[in-house]
Amino acid sequence: MHRPVLLIIAHGSRDPRHAETVHALVREVRTLRPGLRVETGFLDFNAPTVTGVLKRLAAEGVRDVVALPLLLTRAFHAKADIPAVLRAAPAGLRIRQAAVLGPSPLLMAALEQRLHEAGLSPADKSSTGVVLASAGSSDPEAIAVIAEIAREWRLTGWCAVRPAFASASLPRTADAVRALRAEPGVRRVAVAPYVLAPGFLPDRIARGAADADVLADVLGPAPAVARLLLRRYAEAYAPGDSRVATLARIPALA
């Protein structure tokens, strides 16, 4: 069966670490699925642009594309920006927009991996409070998803888990760190950035973690994140799979 091209759509940033991390994640995806063609496009700041990649694919005669937003929540970019760019694609392309990455147990696995790399062990969970620090959004749906992830993560054995946001919403990371210090049973506080790549807002999260005991790295090219990208790709293009109809995607373009 012909497999569509996987187009990973990243936001882009003036910070060069952002694109470097996106490319590292894409390399991990290619390692996991050597026979799959994987392309990368950016909405802003970095090249190649999503529009440029789509035009190149159409010129090469590619027909089918799965566009996968490199986003953790379904907010403005997933609901408006990306569909608008995809609707302007060359007419010869059939494009399906896959679901955003979160929420997913694989993202929780990646968060746990980053905390372990930062020095925590499974034995530390019962005495550690964790700040789940996301970029933030003005979209109530996205904020509710982060809060629910924090509640579910707490059930895996952490002493406490509190959400925090670098922009648009409250509390900020530093406030969540202070709140966890006051919770019974919390002997140390860790900050887990729920972001994919470095940049302005992740740096704000790091500054807010100044009084925490542990600061984990961004999710980046964690193997669980790469596996999740391939899962979203498969869900978006599974012929006859009823789950496909529930995904956030634009109609295939004739």
Q: Which portions of the chain are predicted below pLDDT 70? A: 1, 239-254
Q: Given this model, what pLDDT does residue 245 score?
A: 31
d(CA 179, CA 122): 23
- How do residues 167-209 score in pLDDT, each as one tens digit? 999 999 999 999 999 999 999 999 999 999 999 999 999 999 9
Phi, psi of 128 (to 5 degrees): -115, 130
Alpha-helix residue ranges (DSSP H) falling in 69-196: 76, 82-87, 105-117, 140-154, 173-181
Rounded to whole angstroms, what are the CA distances from 174 to 40, 164, 171, 179?
34, 9, 8, 9
Q: Given this model, what pLDDT does residue 8 score?
A: 98
How far is C-alpha 228 from the chain's CA centre?
10
- How do residues 211-243 score in pLDDT, each as one tens digit? 999 999 999 999 999 999 999 999 998 754 433
Q: Given this model, what pLDDT does residue 251 score?
A: 35
d(CA 125, CA 142): 26
Q: Given this model, what pLDDT does residue 1 score?
A: 56
Tracing tokens 């740096």 back to the chain, one arrives at 203
Hey, what are 18's tokens?
Answer: 């952002």
d(CA 58, CA 38): 15
d(CA 130, CA 186): 9
Phi, psi of 4 (to 5 degrees): -70, 160
| DSSP E strand boundaries for the chain | 5-10, 38-42, 64-69, 94-97, 128-134, 160-165, 188-194, 214-215
Provide the whole-model pTM: 0.91
90, 81 in Cβ contact below 8 A?
no
Tracing tokens 């700040």 back to the chain, one arrives at 131
Q: Given this model, what pLDDT does residue 239 score?
A: 52
34, 231 in Cβ contact below 8 A?
no
Q: What percent of the chain has pLDDT over 70?
A: 93
Cis geometry, peptide bond prior to residue 48 (ω within 30 degrees of 0) = yes
Rounded to whole angstroms, what are the CA distances from 220 to 58, 188, 204, 207?
30, 25, 17, 19
d(CA 71, CA 91): 26
Helix/strand/coil for 162? strand
Cα–Cα nearest to 235, from 223, 249, 221, 224: 249
